[in-house]
Chain A
Amino acid sequence: MADPEAFREQTRRWLDASAPAGVRTPPKTPDEVCWGGRKGKYHEDVRRWLAVMAERGWTAPTWPREYGGGGLSKDEARILVEEMAKLKLRPPLTGFGLEMIGPLLLQAGSEEQKREHIPRIARGEIRWCQGYSEPGAGSDLAGLQTRAERDGDDYVLNGQKVWTSYGDRSDWMFILVRTDRAKKHAGITFLLMDMDTPGVQVRPIKLISGASPFTETFLTDVRVPRRNVVGQEHGGWNIAKMLLRFERNMIADVFKERDDRKRLLDMARRCLPAAGDHGRIGDAVLRDRITQLELDQLCFDLTLARSRDRLRAGQPPGAEVSLFKLYGTELNQRRRELMLAVAGPQALGWEGPGFTDEELGLTRDWLRSRGNTIEGGTSEIQLNIIAKQVLGLPD
């Protein structure tokens, strides 16, 4: 970067001139977040913002320009993120394409696959979902049974996937299938599958918290061309593990402290006021639990920052990265539970009347958070990984 300050100045000016009014406030509902895709229906400003940013390659700032990325260095990308934050601009695009399959294809895809898929991800044209888990393959993912049999230049897929996030709104799926039944890990292949292919059926899953973004996907004689194999046939397990790392980083990212800290404190002051002491929480036990949680959050945030600082200083990732998924998800669960404890009986609502929307949200968020330590590799699996890969404990 020739002159970081010049780049910052140009970037700020361009962003300010290009961003429509509708993307200068945080999204009010999850539906306002732009995931792109053929099936998405977004506000005009959101669509325009996606278009101008994609035109410049800034939906994927560090991806190579030849595949529709921005070609920025890490430092330039950081400046871009900082300037967007200063102007309070929404990200133009989010999703599994940008966060997971895009980086994976850049690392492990064929040239043909990169040319076909990366530009469409960067432009937000195709929304991706993930076909990993199956009814019989959860923590033991390599036990998956969805069959893919060779037939000329195609595979023919039969089986069932579960826990597909946004399967009903996605255009393509990256999917793990079994191409060899004799070998467990070495019989798995990683495929790219168009969700519009005949034989693909999607059904929503309802959770203990109510409606959810999860779906089940049923595959009946679905034909996928062989050129859609990522890596080698039977070599999908290594590709899958490579991608799981992107996923775990993404999940940990979600649990960085946002405005929840203020919310918990405000609630505690409102629900448990101390007599005659303005602003003080009346219940010493809950006060201590809140402080403990905030300290844990602070330590977690600082550990994320330390990890970023290491990368910036050109050092290899430290052992600390292995704890993000484990600790971030448990922290979120503890926060939800503490909010219930503070709200007392008003946290018991399922539907109105008698409960505010915020109170109903507490109940649903708490229930949903129980899944955080299951999805993307359970906490117990994370502990196994730390024990083996970081601590070097024997099998």
Chain B
Amino acid sequence: MSLVLTQEQEILQRTARELVQSRAPVKRLRTYRDTKDPDGFSRELWAEMARLGWLGIVVPEAYGGSGLGWRDLMVVMEELGRTLVTEPFTGTVLLGTTAIVLGGTEAQKQAHLPPVAAGQRLLALAYQEPRGRYDWRHVETRAERAGGGWKLTGEKAHVLDGHVADFLLVSARTGGEPGDAHGISCFLVRRDAPGVGVERMWRVDGRGAAAVRFDGVTVSADAVLGGEGQGEPLLARTLDRATIALSAEMLGGMAACFEMTLDYLKTRKQFGVPIGSFQALKHRAARLFVEIELARSMVMAAHQALDEDADDQRVARLAGAAKARCSDAFVLAGNEGVQMHGGIGMTDEHDVGFFLKRARAAEIQFGDAAFHRERIASIDGY
């Protein structure tokens, strides 16, 4: 185990890069936005990704997955990040699949994981609430006993990939008050169940998300995921793993944004010379390079820890470290990218602006850098 890619991972990286660069270039984002495409991604490409086994990388082979490791997922996520791919990985793979693998009963795993890995089912985790900011414990949505099952009432916001999900994984209170760790339970809810209201949110980064209302939605007893009242640790563990995988996607975004910027510095001429010959820009580019290299080490170490089955506290700490580092570095790469491109960088016609937008959205997703630093301080007891 070390912080270098294996030969197999390098092959996976090349395959992923070729597919993504040819089938999912950054300019797609402009089309999806301008045509108000209801999906905001390509179902054909999703099927292709399923055929390549990417959707089941962290799904055990017994449930139709490829049984690979987190570092293999890292390789794919980095490539997806390079062209700001909008296919619903976050909801389906990072959050939905992880939660079911970690907390699902045998029957739930059998029911959901094979169709997910085959690309036939999309998932979303509805955990964030309008007043909850980054706190997954801030759950106002209520689940009350009804007949042999439960009745869900409440509203969720920023449900990533919730606009296309076939199943929603919903956190709700079966006890306690908003902010309490205890009394949270998770439920598997069909998106077409009566009382579920899904409204598409249009975000700055072009990623699909939804505001979801639950108006007395009834589910059966076996819809509980991870045990009644056991939702909090399941959410925390799921979010930590998804956060680590997101940091790999962010790494790809910042690397691609930097490469685009570096190309521009070498080709754009002012005062008769390439602007990259100016020391003011050279030094800024060199500093950005350093930040990205540091981020890469952190991202690799966090995935390595997952492959080594590190305990939950260590995973939480590394998730925070990777996310804090990648949030700062990606935002810097986006800001510097636009600044160094100058006027053309401010135009919608140029791709660099999409990196700036995605950097901000990814920074906020699962908590910004300050949120994760505070979490690390509290894990470490200071």
Contact = CB atoms under 8 A, between A and B. Distances in A.
Interface of A: 265, 268-269, 279-281, 287-288, 290-292, 294-296, 298-300, 302-303, 305-306, 309-310, 312-313, 315, 319-320, 323, 326-327, 380, 382-384, 386-388, 390-395
Nearest to A299: B294
A137 to B, nearest CB: 20
12 contacts: A269-B382, A295-B376, A298-B298, A302-B297, A302-B298, A306-B3, A326-B290, A384-B282, A387-B283, A387-B286, A388-B282, A393-B277
B73 interface: no
Nearest to A296: B294
Contacts, number: 122
A387 B321 CA distance: 27
Given A295-B325, A295-B376, A302-B3, A288 B294 contact: no
A323 B265 CA distance: 21
A309 B3 contact: yes
Given A306-B3, A392-B266, A279 B298 contact: no
Interface of B: 2-4, 262, 265-266, 273-274, 276-277, 279, 281-283, 285-287, 289-290, 293-298, 300-301, 321, 324-325, 370, 373-374, 376-377, 381-382
A394 B276 contact: yes
Contacts of A294: 376
Contacts of B321: 295, 298-299
Contact of B382 (A290, A299, A387): A290
Contacts of A313: 2, 4
Contacts of A315: 4
Contacts of A305: 3, 297, 301
A208 to B, nearest CB: 25
A295 B382 contact: no
A291 B377 contact: yes
A279 B381 contact: yes
A391 B3 contact: no
B136 to A, nearest CB: 21
A281 B376 CA distance: 13
Nearest to A386: B286
A282 to B, nearest CB: 10
A295 B373 contact: yes
Contacts of A384: 279, 282-283, 286
Contacts of A395: 277
A302 B298 CA distance: 7
Contacts of B274: 393-394
